[in-house]
A and B are shown apart, each in its own frame.
Chain A
């Protein structure tokens, strides 16, 4: 399974003056679930694209630093080579439909055909990913006839079917209802438990807090924090970075309730409940 190492990554889009990514370095272990947060224009999507090699292979501009997926240096390989190791799902599902396939089933096969897989292998992978995202019943529909949420799941399924070792999701639940996005998070979590690294840009902080192992906070192209959700959301000046902590954290912050174990504010409902119960019992742990 793949380990991601980013060293002093800098990038400037063509025809702009300011760097979009300013000297970012980090390491991600296999199987980690990373949430990427930050206000608009913080560089979240740019970072995602740099990890797959869309930057600097598709977008030119000034590029500095190195991105390694295991020992593969992203900038020195074509996107089609990198995409066997790293899959990316974009925000707008509509623009990810290839347009050359007439059914959802064939649509998912597109990437697999390009990888040169055998027919039986393809069918097995397609069935698996369709079922994982719960869209198996739409497999014979035209991709363009799906609703936004179904299309989004299809986009995720078509990347999952390629079995990359790292999956990057750039706001993948923007078109989904709460239940649908919960299902996507669960499916992605089960992949991360299988050892696939997940990086997810998301604005639903409660979800990020509940599912991420670590959270990366970006602001103006710089990495401000990269730590456990508890520590990141407990930052005093979080609002300055244009991020709202999960509702539970904000309530606990106002009430001054901290999780006694790590000295941070709780970030999930369960954690908040535990901290409050502890307080009610007068500081004695609930069994």
Chain B
């Protein structure tokens, strides 16, 4: 079954880390450079993220994401580099187009921030099983119903796509034109809607009953099949992350006082 989540099952240290630590890392990676207002901190976190992703054997999967946001970042560089109001010092002259130093530095700051956020989220998204992530939230007090919605999306949507493919095939086998130019395709889309929608409505109703008879609505406090691993290294990771956060907070206050 094809999956819509970006997660890939690999057996590495990073995959085994508690999702909570990863969420904490995202917070730290975003807040610390902001507190210190430092591009070096952003760059440092990007480097750390890259190392973590390398350890998780998932660095390659960030490329499409970076490629997409890279496109946007390039426009930022071009626009800020040429048109930023406080541009004074020319840095690069390409024919009649002049890139200014101030604008380029500003664009660099934005780019570093975006890449940093992207990379730190990638660690969570690429190396954590969606169901584990949701379970962590439910353990922390998220309603199990909302948790179910979040985690079922990852399976139900691909299932619906599959149903749609089956219905298309069935219609095609009865002689309906589904391929060809744009008008044929648009025409082929309409007869697809009602069976797909009806089908999902019926499926949803039946699934709701099936969930009910398995005690989904139970008032009983839920327990979990998977065990929370409370290892010492997990603790160390969390303490280190918290320490970094606190230190940067102190650093910020010190900068202020000066």
- Chain A residues at the B interface, C-beta cutoff of 8 Å: 49, 52, 54, 58, 78-81, 83-84, 87-88, 90, 92, 94-102, 105-106, 109-119, 122-123, 142, 144-145, 158-159, 162
Contacts and interface: CB of A to CB of B under 8 A. Distances in A.
Contact of B214 (A102, A105, A110, A123): A110
Contacts of B209: 49, 54, 58, 90
Given A113-B223, A119-B225, A162 B215 contact: yes
B203 A88 contact: no
Interface string B1-43: 1000000000000000000000000000000000000000000
A81 B217 CA distance: 9
A92 B1 CA distance: 19
A100 B131 contact: yes
B220 to A, nearest CB: 4
A186 B212 CA distance: 27
Contacts of B224: 113, 119
Contacts of B151: 100
Most buried by A among B206, B212, B222: B212
A123 B226 CA distance: 10
B171 to A, nearest CB: 20
Contact of B217 (A54, A79, A122): A79
Nearest to A115: B215
B220 A115 contact: yes
B228 to A, nearest CB: 11
Interface in B126-175: 129, 131, 134, 147-148, 151-152, 155-156, 159
Given A100-B148, A113-B224, A114-B222, A79 B210 contact: no
Residue in B129, B207, B212, B215 whose Cβ sees the most chain A Cβ within 10 Å: B215
The residue in A84, A111, A117, A158 that gathers the most chain B C-beta atoms within 10 A of its C-beta is A111
Interface of B: 1, 129, 131, 134, 147-148, 151-152, 155-156, 159, 203, 206-227
B220 A83 contact: no
A145 B3 CA distance: 12
Nearest to B147: A100
Contacts of A95: 203, 206-207, 210
A37 B159 CA distance: 33
A111 B155 CA distance: 18
A98 B215 contact: no
Q: Interface majority SS on A: helix, strand, loop or mixed?
A: helix
Contacts of B203: 94-95
B4 to A, nearest CB: 13
A272 to B, nearest CB: 39
B215 A84 contact: yes
B215 A83 contact: yes
Contacts of A92: 206
Given A95-B206, A119-B227, A114 B214 contact: yes
Given A80-B217, A98-B152, A158-B214, 17 more contacts: A54-B212, A58-B208, A58-B209, A79-B217, A83-B214, A84-B215, A90-B210, A96-B206, A96-B207, A99-B156, A102-B155, A106-B225, A110-B214, A113-B224, A117-B223, A118-B223, A123-B225
Contact of A54 (B148, B213, B218): B213
A98 B217 contact: no
Nearest to A116: B220
Contacts of A109: 225
A165 B89 CA distance: 83
29 contacts: A54-B212, A58-B209, A79-B212, A80-B215, A80-B217, A81-B218, A83-B212, A83-B214, A83-B215, A84-B215, A90-B210, A98-B207, A98-B210, A99-B156, A100-B147, A100-B151, A100-B155, A105-B225, A106-B131, A109-B225, A111-B214, A112-B225, A114-B220, A114-B222, A115-B218, A116-B223, A119-B225, A119-B227, A144-B155
A11 to B, nearest CB: 16
Contacts of A114: 214-216, 218, 220, 222
